[in-house]
Amino acid sequence: MAARRAQVLGLCALVLTICSSHVSTQPLARRVATIAGVKNFPGFYHGQPVLVRGELKVAEDRANLVSPDDTVPVLTRERVPSEGTYDVRGEALDIGRLSQDDPRLSGVDLRRLGVDPMERWPSHGEVVVLRATSFNPAEPAPAPGIRAIALDPHRYETQRVTVAGQFRGRNLYGDLPQAPSEASESRAEFVLLSGDGAIWVLGKRPKGRGFELDVNSRIDTRRWLEVSGVVHHARGLAWIDAEELDEVEPRRERPVEEQLPPPAPPVPPEVLFSAPTEGETDVPTDTSIRIQFSRDLDPASLKGRVRVSYLGSESVERGEPQPPAIDATVNYDRGRRAMEIRFTAPLERFRTVKVELLEGIVGTDGAPLAPWAITFSVGG
């Protein structure tokens, strides 16, 4: 009996592992969002594929997507089209939630976004951008629907509409960041989904002639409702103040899933400068060495890969069997992306010192630093 129980438990664990692996490899479903929604709820939209509508404004090599109530900077490797109103697909990014060496920021001049990485990295929600992958001229929907309202709620504000969508309970699947402030536990509230767009429905409980759905039950999310009411929006959240509700037959549609293009390959770190510099002479005997890098390094990869020595050819000329050893300590400052090498004793006068960064040093994302070396001469 115990053996049988162990076999069953092992099979369950295997199934859970396979399911977890399968779920983790699925592409994220694209979310229809507003610019104000992306800006007001950066923690919810960060790293998510989104579709937003706005007016593209281009000035001084900077592009912004503008709506009547907010603006978001646009980053793209695509050709930026002429100004106009577009439906823009891309990835919402909260810069403060990224590391400075994130490959999605490769080639981005953060100073144009008001960010100086050497001074201060932004906090969460402070700088939100859209990493755009495509621009399509905005086309008005032939009739108001959930997707159209979620994409452009300004167009439908205070209009009475009738829409149909899949019942999603009280946001049981996290389709939207939160309920509007107008909603509360004392009022009826639930989400309807159609394609990749979702909206809130307020003011009526999901029940009517022949149906009564539970806002806290996923079982009922297989059903569809038609709602008539007036459209409102605030802080990037759209909702309908319901006046009439009916159950309708489910429609055969699935949320559009969109795989974002792979991020740019990691940019290898480089040495920006060193002090002393290559070939420098009359360097003091009590000097230390400072090396500045373009990107953050993995400190663990430095162990055993930083070598400082006297030039071997000089030792041969002096009749020394081998160059004297140089004892030094290596400290790496992640905040400044800088390495400092300090010597435990003064360097010997009139010697040439060679500093080497050996193969195997990598950035925090594994991108390799090319082997690097300099030599300098110690003065008297």
Last residue of a domain, one of 215, 248, 281: 248
Let me know whether 53 and 103 are in one domain.
yes
Q: What is the pLDDT of residue 187?
A: 61
Let me know whether 153 and 226 are in one domain.
yes
Q: What is the pLDDT of residue 263?
A: 55
Q: What is the pLDDT of residue 12?
A: 39
Question: Domain containing 373 — which CATH number?
Answer: 2.60.40.1220
Let me know whether 235 and 302 are in one domain.
no
17 domain-assigned: no
Last residue of a domain, one of 105, 120, 137: 137
Q: What is the pLDDT of residue 101?
A: 82
Let me know whether 124 and 175 are in one domain.
no
Let me know whether 91 and 157 are in one domain.
no
Q: What is the pLDDT of residue 352?
A: 94
Q: What is the pLDDT of residue 255?
A: 44
101 domain-assigned: yes
Q: What is the pLDDT of residue 264?
A: 53
Question: Domain containing 232 — which CATH number?
Answer: 2.40.50.200
256 domain-assigned: no
Let me know whether 132 and 154 are in one domain.
no
Let me know whether 120 and 204 are in one domain.
no
Q: What is the pLDDT of residue 312?
A: 80
Q: What is the pLDDT of residue 28?
A: 63
Last residue of a domain, one of 91, 117, 137: 137
Q: How many folded domains does the chain comprise?
A: 3
Let me know whether 111 and 67 are in one domain.
yes
Per-residue confidence of the chain (380 residues) as pLDDT tens digits?
444 444 433 433 333 333 333 333 345 678 999 999 999 999 999 999 999 999 999 987 789 999 998 999 999 887 888 999 999 999 999 999 998 888 888 878 888 888 888 889 999 999 999 999 999 999 887 788 999 999 999 999 999 999 999 999 999 999 999 888 766 554 689 999 998 999 999 999 999 999 999 999 999 999 999 999 999 999 999 999 999 999 999 876 554 444 555 555 667 889 999 999 999 999 999 999 999 998 889 899 999 999 999 988 887 777 777 888 899 999 999 878 899 999 999 999 999 999 999 999 998 778 899 999 999 999 97
19 domain-assigned: no
Q: What is the pLDDT of residue 317?
A: 75
Let me know whether 155 and 128 are in one domain.
no
8 domain-assigned: no
Question: 292: which 2 tokens?
Answer: 């500045």
- Quote the domain boundaries for residue 58: 31-137
312 domain-assigned: yes
